[in-house]
Amino acid sequence: MVKDGDYVAVFNSVHRVMEAERLLKDKKLKILVIPAPRALAADCGLALRYSEDLREEVEALLTAAELLPRHLYRKQGDTFVEIGAKA
Amino acid sequence: MKSLDVRGMACPMPVVSVKRALESAEGGVRVLLDDGAPRENVTRFATGRGYTVTEEAVEGGFALAITGGEQQPAEPAAAKEGPVVMLVGADRLGEGPEELGRLLMKNYIITLLDLDKLPDRIFFVNSGVLLTVEGSEVLEALEALGNRGVEVLSCGVCLDYFKKREQLAAGAVTNMFTIAESMMKAGNVVRL
């Protein structure tokens, strides 16, 4: 479900991920809520998946709405590389 | 050896056809298929189930000879023989807030992709068919399941009720006879 180069934003709360989904879908952005990949999943286990071309817009909207994920990863080959811990 | 021609078929039909043929054929199956995704998916499916695949290039595609037996992984003694059938009776999982139920159903279907053992067939009935039509967020997951040999089947009456028959975007249409018969012959029925 996560292709090479895709971004996976893992949230720490189901409410936040649903709010983020609503916000981004209202803007017609092609994001998908997925179970956080097992290699990354901790507690709530939900994540947003989006592609490189949407990154800027998605993250700007999430920042403005104070809905930044707990962790952000990028899929590279078989592994997930953390892009930098967010708030 | 049974022969099969799946050239020109769209994914996941090549895998589904080969799976059906292997279930009913003794001595393996010889299948003609297109290069690219069908060739890769059928090869992955068959080798994943312990078959030996020999391929040769032929005019207009590839011919794969799929032989050998399916190596069954060790099953718990209590598991009954027969296919595993999953019945998805709604577009949401469990009782509670609709929004949460939809999220959980979507998660469940995507999570199936991480499992080694998959259902042989998934029937979508009632509002479950909303998961197999255009606009559903699990179409990508259903296609991936199809490529691993899972048959995705939607209830025709249900599609008609929701006026979505033309929008079916994953798997095929089925009827209640097939659903009922398949459930009665199943080794295990998983109802969502």
pLDDT of residue B70: 66
Region A69-77: mean pLDDT is 93
Closest Cα of chain B to A61: distance in Å?
21
Element (H, E) at B44: helix B37-48
Question: Please, what is the average pLDDT of chain B?
Answer: 90
Question: Is residue B111 located within the same domain as residue B164?
Answer: yes
CA angle centred on B165, ends A31 and B92, rounded to 5°: 50
B78 in any annotated domain: no
Do residue B56 and residue B104 come from a single domain? Answer: no
Question: Does residue A87 have a pLDDT over 50?
Answer: no
Give the chain B residue whose CA is nearest to the CA of A39.
B114
Q: Which two tokens stand for residue B56?
A: 């040769």
CATH 3.40.1360 matches A7-82: no
Q: Is the dihedral of CA B11, B12, B17, B19 positive or negative?
A: positive
Establish if A5 touches chain B: CB-CB under 8 angstroms.
no
B61 and B104 inside one domain: no
Q: Looking at the structure, do residues B158 and B112 belong to the same domain, yes or no?
A: yes
Total tally of structural domains belonging to chain B: 2
pTM over 0.90: no
Range of the domain at B156: 84-191
Q: Tell me whether residue B19 is in a domain.
A: yes
**DSSP string over B85-146:** EEEE-SSS-SSS-HHHHHHHHHHHHHHHTT-SS--SEEEE-GGGGGGSBTT-TTHHHHHHHH
Residue B164 belongs to domain with CATH number? 3.40.1260.10
* Predicted local confidence at residue B25, as pLDDT: 79
Measure the CA–CA gap between B131 and B82, rounded to whole angstroms.
Answer: 26
Asked if the Cβ–Cβ distance from A35 to B100 is below 8 Å, we say no
DSSP B56: E
Q: Are residues B104 and B168 in the same domain?
A: yes
Position A62 pLDDT exceeds 80: yes
